Amino acid sequence: MGRPLKVKLFPFQRTGVAFIEQKKGRVLIADEMGLGKTIQSLAWLHLHPELRPAIVVCPAHLKLNWAKEVKKVLPGKQNVQILYGEKGGPSITGDIIIINYDILPNKYEKYRDKLGKKKVREIKDTGWVDFLIARKPKVLILDEAHYIKTNSAQRTKATKKLAKKRDHVIAISGTPMDRPIDGFNLFQVIDKNIFPDFWKYVHRYCGAKHNGFGWDYSGASNEKELHNILTKTIMIRRKKSEVLPELPDKIYSYVPMELINRKKYEKAENDFISYLREEKGRGAVKKAVLAEHLVKIEALKQLALEGKLAQCIEWINAFIEKDNSEGKLIVFTTHKSTVETLMDEFKKIAVKVDGSCSAKGRDQAVQAFQEDPKIRLFIGNIQAAGTGLTLTAATAIAFLELPWTPGALVQAEDRPHRIGQKNAVNIYHLLAANTIEEKIAKILDKKKKTLDIILDGEGNVVQTGVISELINSFIKVFNSL
């Protein structure tokens, strides 16, 4: 098999890889969120280097994360290619190819009935699916596989077309279906022999009934039987509570976000580097605490946030949609404006705590988050909500912005991990890729390991160190030019 994986698998993850191998790479990995479904699929790919190219189809906001996970998990240099844009082309050279559902279809096919087959053939291909099929992929990995539940959707049709004749199909979803009808397409893509007849499936498992206008398949029937068939054939599912003894108290994940304002950000970053050069290079570090430096750094942070915020909202939406049974989410940020933007987006299911909240308001927000099942999201300013609150209803935290001190970061991480919390806590850092946010995260991570500084509470010393190292990282850039 060659070189070992770059990460160590938990025992339950090794069991998952063995299951994929036993089922010859045609499976549904339905583990609850945070248990490493991506890592298990990549570990199986590692067992079979001959099975290339492999295609990963996922939501757009997860493409960079897949590329990061490949680099983190698989040894050696991997030929990874991320596809962008709705117009496909023959320039597909990767061994591991990553594409999102929405750009997969040949969009012209929706006009087939109106225009006729002859006219459609004259329209230039705009999707990727045919080009991907031409590469003769050996493995198809479908992340968030519930995206293909709607039979009439173009992405479902394209995914089914791509999956046809594939020897290995690995579907990944913590919530593969809300009702039995949602799973039919997915089961067909993995193994069409399990439920070969749609009509029999919907009558046996979807409570099919005629409502006077047509057939209604939105119900459920014989649920235990369906579960037993799936677990005996294609599905492996573990709940976090079942594998809790194997998990650490905190599970960290970095989720890279793409910037929609990349050019604007890069111009500002180059201007900052030029500014530091004018300050005579390393001598500028001595002035790191000056307001002018901090203003420029803050401007970069704001541009990074601006460029990723829509994608962060998409990630939060996806978490809430698929995490119906697994607890709630805390989102931490540092700016009141970000708190307000998120509250506007999620006001029906969210509460907030920021500097504007009274003591009574804080208590009411915490109580609602802890006790009201309709409140799925706690949005907090790190300074106002990062200490003193118990939020054990949450099983995950997402940081959209980072504080300046590792102490503040650790305090915020501990909000759900209190007495009374029985679950491992997943901690996600939603960071704009290749920006100042990554630099800050790396510095904070290094300083978090210096426990004596954190535990002694030397906040000012740590703060100066973080900013100094941050500026040094930019200085290294222009010194290398």
Peptide bond between residue 53 and the one before it cis (omega within 30 degrees of 0): yes
* pLDDT bucket at 404, cuts 50 / 70 / 90: confident
Residue-level pLDDT at 123: 54
Q: Are 277 and 478 in contact (CB under 8 A)?
A: yes
Whole-angstrom distance, CA of residue 76 vs CA of residue 137: 21
Residue-level pLDDT at 34: 87
Of 11-15, 107-111, 127-131, the range with the lowest mean pLDDT is 107-111
Q: How far is CA 38 from CA 9, 185, 208, 210, 419, in A?
A: 12, 21, 35, 41, 30
Of 1-5, 68-72, 148-152, the range with the lowest mean pLDDT is 1-5
Q: What is the mean pLDDT of residues 108-114?
A: 60
Residue-level pLDDT at 463: 41
DSSP letter, residue 2: -
In this structure, what token pair is assigned to residue 36?
Answer: 């490493």
Asked whether the predicted pLDDT for residue 451 surpasses 80, the reply is no
- Helix segments in 252-358, DSSP class H: 262-278, 291-322, 336-346
Which candidate, 282, 306, 305, places its Cα nearest to that of 402? 305
* pLDDT bucket at 83, cuts 50 / 70 / 90: very high
User: What is the pTM for the complete model shown?
Assistant: 0.87
Residue-level pLDDT at 458: 42
Please report the sign of the dihedral spanned by the C-alpha atoms of residue 104, residue 149, residue 25, residue 174.
positive
Which candidate, 396, 394, 381, 370, places its Cα nearest to that of 250? 396
Q: Are 130 and 88 in contact (CB under 8 A)?
A: yes
User: CA 290: distance to chain centroid?
Assistant: 37
Token match 């046996």: residue? 204
- Identity of the amino acid at 68: K
Residue-level pLDDT at 454: 39
Sorted by where each starts, the structural domains of the chain and their CATH numbers stand as 21-238 (3.40.50.10810), 250-479 (3.40.50.300)
pLDDT-above-90 percentage for the chain? 65
Mean pLDDT estimate for the chain: 87
Residue-level pLDDT at 462: 39
Q: Read off the pLDDT of residues 304-344 as tens digits, 9 standing for 90 and up.
A: 999 999 999 999 999 988 655 557 999 999 999 999 999 99
Name the β-bridge partners of 100. 58
Q: Read off the pLDDT of residues 179-205 as tens digits, 9 standing for 90 and up.
A: 999 999 999 999 999 999 999 999 999
